[in-house]
Amino acid sequence: MARDNTVPETNKDYAIGLGRAFGGAVLFAIPLLMTMEMWWLGFSMGRGRLLLLMSLNFAILIGLSYFAGFEKTFSWWEDVVDALTAYGVGIVTSVIMLGLLAVITVDMTWNEIVGKIALQSVPASIGAMLGRKQLGAEQDTQAEDDRKQEAGYRGELFLMLAGSLFLAFNVAPTEEMILIAFQMSPWHTFALGGLSIALLHVFVYAVGFSGQESRPAGGTFLSTFLHFTMAGYGIALLVSLYILWTFGRTEDAAPAEIANMAVVLGFPSSLGAATARLVI
C-alpha cells in the first residue's frame, strides 16, 4: 500500500512559503527599518492613528492574499488566516531587525517599543504577503490572472490602492518630502501632477513592461484614461492625504501647503498604483 505523502508535502510547502514571507518582509521593509523618521514616528504618533493604520493595513493584507498571498487560498477565511500570518511575520521581522539595529533596547518604555514595532510591521507585513509572488520559483500566473478577471474593475482599483499605500509609506515619513513641497512653486506642482498622471498611464498601458495590462475590450483611449488612469491618480492623492494626516503632516498647515504635499507624495504614490498592477 502506497504511503500518503500529502500532509508532509503540505507542511513543506507551508514552511517554504513562510520562509519566503520572512525574506519578503526583510526585503520590502529594510529601507524604513533604517530610517530615523520612522523611529521617531513610532514613538510620537498618536496611538489612535497608528491603530487605524494597522487596521487598514490588515484589510489590505486580506485582499492581497486573495490575489497573491504567500500561499494559495480558497476561501475568505483562509485569506484572513493568511493575513494574520503575514502580520505575525512582519511583527517578528520588525522585532528582530530593530533589536539588531539597536533601535529598540531594554531600557526603553513599553509604549516606545510597541509603537516602533507596530509602525514598522506595516511595510514588513506587506512584504511578507508578497513574498511568494516575488521570491517564489513557481508562480501560478494563470490562477492569479483568473482572480483578477473575476475581481474586475473593483479589483483593479484595490490593487492600485495597495500599491499607492506601500510606496507612499516609504516616502511620507522623511523630512525631504516636506522640504520639496515647501520649495515648489505652483507651476512645479502642476507639472509634477501632470507627470504623475502621464507615467501612471504609460507604465500600465503603453511601454510594454512584463505583466502590462491591455486596454479593456471595446474601451477607447478616453474611457480607459478616465476609468483607470484618472481613477488611479485620484486614489493616489487620497492615499497621500491619509498618510500625511496619519503622520501628523497636515497639522497647522495651510490648505495650499497640504495640497502641495499631497501632489509631491502623490508622485511616488501614483507610481505605486501603476507598478502594483504590473507585479501583483
Residues 33 and 118 in one domain: yes
Q: What is the DSSP letter of 229?
A: I
Residue 38 covered by a domain: yes
Residues 109 and 157 in one domain: no
Residues 155 and 268 in one domain: yes
Residues 87 and 176 in one domain: no
- Number of structural domains found in the chain: 2
Residue 1 covered by a domain: no
Residues 164 and 123 in one domain: no
Residue 2 covered by a domain: no
User: Pick from 72, 105, 138: which residue ends a domain?
Assistant: 138
Asked whether the beta carbons of 147 and 255 are under 8 A apart, the reply is: no
Residues 165 and 204 in one domain: yes
Residue 234 covered by a domain: yes
pLDDT tens over the chain, length 280 residues? 445 555 555 667 777 778 888 888 998 899 899 999 999 999 899 999 999 999 999 999 998 888 776 556 667 888 898 899 999 999 999 999 999 999 999 999 999 999 999 999 999 999 888 876 665 555 555 555 556 566 677 888 898 999 999 889 888 898 888 899 999 999 999 999 999 999 998 887 765 444 445 555 555 667 778 888 899 999 999 999 999 999 998 988 889 999 999 999 999 999 998 887 666 6
CA-CA distance, 26 to 29, in Å (whole number)? 5
Residue 3 covered by a domain: no
Residue 65 covered by a domain: yes
- Longest Cα–Cα distance in the chain: 77
Residues 256 and 155 in one domain: yes
CA-CA distance, 194 to 191, in Å (whole number)? 5
User: Pick from 138, 153, 174: which residue ends a domain?
Assistant: 138
Host domain of residue 82:
12-138
User: Pick from 121, 138, 155: which residue ends a domain?
Assistant: 138
Residue 155 covered by a domain: yes
CA-CA distance, 220 to 241, in Å (whole number)? 31
